[in-house]
Amino acid sequence: MEQVYDETVYINEALDLVVSNLWQGGLLAILVLLVFLRKMRPTLIIGLAIPVSIIGTFVALTAAGRNLNVVSLAGLAFAVGMVLDNAIVVLENTDRHIAMGKKVIQAAYDGAREIGSAILASTLTTLIVFVPVLIMQEEAGQLFRDIALAVCAAVALSLIVAVTVIPAAGARLLKPHQHRKHTWAEKVDNLYGVGPAIGKINLAYADGILRLVSWPIFNTSRKVFLSLAGLLLAGVGAYGLYIFRDMAGTVKMMLMPVWMELFGALLVATGLAVALMLFWKLRQHAKLYERIGGLGIGVLMAVAMVLVLVGLSLVLMFMNPADLPMLAGAVLGFWQIWLPWRWYW
């Protein structure tokens, strides 16, 4: 007997390609870190998040009863750069505390504890994007569930790594800030002129963010306005989720969740405009949803989710309990204005 056809050749080639992309992505991510951080020790510490998170993802996939295949490995390749985000934030904050004159161990502890809630919120907003794929029961869910599960596991583990492994490694490897003489190590840190240019860009970016964040701090009316805007966005998003959930129950989802890729390219303002326009069309033409199918429903639900998250974030950032009476008055005033029009909708 002679075997005339062997599919394992193509399967092995696909696996080798994905594994190669995984290694290349990890190395490129570390190289980018080295270019921007301009220091070897912080780069190595942050790079620890990649192998620890990836190995932990293998355990999570096994616990979930999933096997390693081309799809799940592709999810890991997608998540290589994402697992570094929390580690970068924690280590940067630790370095800031060291610059304040604290001991390295105390700086590592304070740096991780200070921004724990912030990176938790950031991680949850990333995970919620993949929740629709995990709960899909159609062909799209069966096809892409392994990718979503791998990305969710890797990102969730990166949060644990950022508050455990990174502070411990930083306490052991980081050193207090000291002025060094002009040596070859300093030239490498500065990357022969590229480093200072990147540093100036970072300072300009940080200054712009500081100006933006500090804008409403000393003005109560601005804080109330932003809190009210957050409540409005969250309300519109929640109402949209309620409406589009019923539509999604009657419309069969298409084969591929292309809506995720499309929505990823939309700004929040653009997505809101598209959502409102489509919503108005849906109210005018009851059967229009049959034409847009799962793609349109997915876009609208994704926009609604983002509106809820953005709105709640604004409320948590700018609402002060002392401003609740003023905020309640603004809400009641808005309700009185909107009440005559609600029956039209």
pLDDT at 214: 66
Band (pLDDT 50/70/90 cuts) for residue 5 is: low
Range in 102-111, 316-325, 334-343 the model is least confident about: 334-343
Check: CB of residue 150 under 8 Å from CB of residue 76: yes
pLDDT at 292: 46
**How is the chain split into domains, by residue range?**
8-176, 216-342
- Percentage of the chain exceeding pLDDT 90: 1
Q: How far is CA 232 from the centre of its chain?
A: 23
Band (pLDDT 50/70/90 cuts) for residue 44 is: confident
Q: What is the dihedral of CA 212, 213, 214, 218, to 10 degrees?
A: 110
Model confidence, pTM: 0.56
CATH of the domain spanning 8-176: 1.20.1640.10
Confidence check: pLDDT of 253 > 60: no
pLDDT at 21: 74
pLDDT (mean) for 18-44: 77
pLDDT (mean) for 232-239: 72
pLDDT at 176: 78
Average model confidence (pLDDT) across the chain: 69
Confidence check: pLDDT of 211 > 80: no
pLDDT at 190: 57
pLDDT at 261: 38
Q: How far is CA 335 from the centre of its chain?
A: 34
Q: Please give the residue that has the higher pLDDT: either 44 or 250.
A: 44
pLDDT at 111: 87
Band (pLDDT 50/70/90 cuts) for residue 299 is: low
- The long-range contacts involving 213-218, CB below 8 angstroms and separated by at least 24 positions, are 216/318
Q: Please give the residue that has the higher pLDDT: either 189 or 13.
A: 13
Confidence check: pLDDT of 88 > 70: yes
Confidence check: pLDDT of 159 > 60: yes
pLDDT (mean) for 161-165: 89
Q: What is the 3-state secondary structure (H, E, C) of the chain?
A: CCCCCCCHHHHHHHHHHHHHHHHHHHHHHHHHHHHHHCCHHHHHHHHCHHHHHHHHHHHHHHHCCCCCCHHHHHHHHHHCCCCHHHHHHHHHHHHHHHHCCCCHHHHHHHHHHHCHHHHHHHHHHHHHHCHHHHHCCCHHHHHHHHHHHHHHHHHHHHHHHHHHHHHHHHHHHCCCCCCCCCCHHHHHHHHHHHHHHHHHHHHHHHHHHHHHHHCCCCCHHHHHHHHHHHHHHHHHHHHHHHHHHHHHHHCCCCCCCHHHHHHHCCCHHHHHHHHHHHHHHHHHCCCCHHHHHHHHHHHHHHHHHHHHHHHHHHHHHHCCHHHHHHHHHHHHHHHHHHHHHHCCC
Q: How far is Cα 108 from Cα 298, in angstroms, rounded to an integer?
A: 42
Per-residue model confidence as pLDDT tens digits over 108-156: 888 888 888 888 888 888 888 777 777 776 666 677 788 888 888 888 9
Q: Dihedral of CA 291/136/280/267: which sign?
A: negative
pLDDT at 343: 45
pLDDT at 210: 73
Q: Please give the residue that has the higher pLDDT: either 74 or 290.
A: 74
Confidence check: pLDDT of 289 > 50: no
pLDDT (mean) for 49-75: 83
Tell me the residue type at 60: A
Chain position carrying tokens 């062909």 = 139
pLDDT (mean) for 285-312: 58
Q: Please give the residue that has the higher pLDDT: either 137 or 280.
A: 137
Confidence check: pLDDT of 257 > 60: no
Q: Please give the residue that has the higher pLDDT: either 14 or 254.
A: 14
Q: Please give the residue that has the higher pLDDT: either 172 or 208.
A: 172
Confidence check: pLDDT of 291 > 80: no
